[in-house]
Chains A and B, each alone.
With several copies, the nearest count.
Chain A
Amino acid sequence: MSVRVQSALFDIGAETAAFAKGRAGVGAIVTFTGIVRDRASGGLSRMEIEHYPGMTERAIAGIETEAIARWHLIDSLVIHRYGALGVGDPIMMVATAAPHRGDAFAAAEFLMDYLKSRAPFWKKEVAADGAEWVAAKDADEDALRRW
């Protein structure tokens, strides 16, 4: 189980390869990567992500601990960036390794749903025509209820 909160870019391929490397008992690996997407109207200059140092790591570790308690996982990884990100840059990544695919998928989706609404990050979209904090979606709060 590991947590990394960083401003540095990370390499999805390299992280996936490192995570997948030779662990006994693993039959299924799921990864999720979130990427900065332009607005529907276009013109996004960058995304700025603010976080709460200290609480962020605690919250993510708590979420991972809960995932490990609920599913049969062999390992998990969460990487989440903060700072200024460009369109197409990876924002964050979750990876789960389990004996079976059901556990790997469910735990990855659970981690994502919790990160969306329970990890202290805030996104701001910055464009030439102004900057705007991304609003939380009711759908994200609803997604938590299924767990």
Chain B
Amino acid sequence: MIDVLYFAWVRERIGFPKERVETTAATVADLVAELKAREPRYEAAFADLTALRVAVDQTLSTFDAPLAGVREVAFFPPMTGG
């Protein structure tokens, strides 16, 4: 079980900020593929991965990162702090 979080327009497209996902995905990219297969809104949110960033256990990461032992994955657009 992994907590999956969505922020900004990713959250708006998915429709909620957080869900628990039962998955055997080996990498973040595999998880994305699983989610996209579920419903059109995931397809819409993950249509262009170059427009997205991912954090694995609250650290910026990449789509090829492994998920073994991971508790939390977050998807969001490039950050606009400051």
Direct contact, A vs B (beta carbon within 8 Å): yes
A interface residue numbers (CB < 8 A to B): 34, 50, 52, 54-55, 58-59, 80, 91-92, 101, 112, 115-124, 133-136, 140-141
Q: Does the CB pair B60–A118 fall under 8 Å? A: yes
Residues of B within 8 A of A34 (CB): 82
Taken together as a complex, chains A and B put the C-alpha atoms of A136 and B77 apart, in Å, by 8
Give the total number of A-B pairs whose CB atoms are below 8 A apart. Answer: 71
A-B contact pairs, 10 of them (CB 8 A): A50-B7, A52-B5, A52-B55, A52-B58, A116-B79, A117-B79, A119-B81, A121-B82, A134-B80, A136-B79
- With an 8 A cutoff between CB atoms, is B9 at the interface? yes
CB distance from A5 to the nearest CB of B (A): 10
- With an 8 A cutoff between CB atoms, is B74 at the interface? yes
- With an 8 A cutoff between CB atoms, is B40 at the interface? no
CB distance from B35 to the nearest CB of A (A): 19
- With an 8 A cutoff between CB atoms, is B21 at the interface? no
B interface residue numbers (CB < 8 A to A): 5, 7-9, 11, 55, 58-60, 74, 76-82
Q: Does the CB pair A117–B78 fall under 8 Å? A: yes
Q: Does the CB pair B82–A122 fall under 8 Å? A: no
Known: A52-B7, A55-B55, A55-B58. A136 touches B82 (CB 8 A): no
Taken together as a complex, chains A and B put the C-alpha atoms of A52 and B17 apart, in Å, by 10
Q: Which residue of B lies closest to A113 (CB)?
A: B82
Q: Which residue of B lies closest to A111 (CB)?
A: B82
CB distance from A111 to the nearest CB of B (A): 9
Taken together as a complex, chains A and B put the C-alpha atoms of A140 and B77 apart, in Å, by 14
Residues of A within 8 A of B9 (CB): 133
Known: A55-B55, A58-B58, A122-B76. A115 touches B81 (CB 8 A): yes
Pick the residue among A58, A91, A120 that contacts B79 (CB under 8 A).
A120
Taken together as a complex, chains A and B put the C-alpha atoms of A136 and B51 apart, in Å, by 10
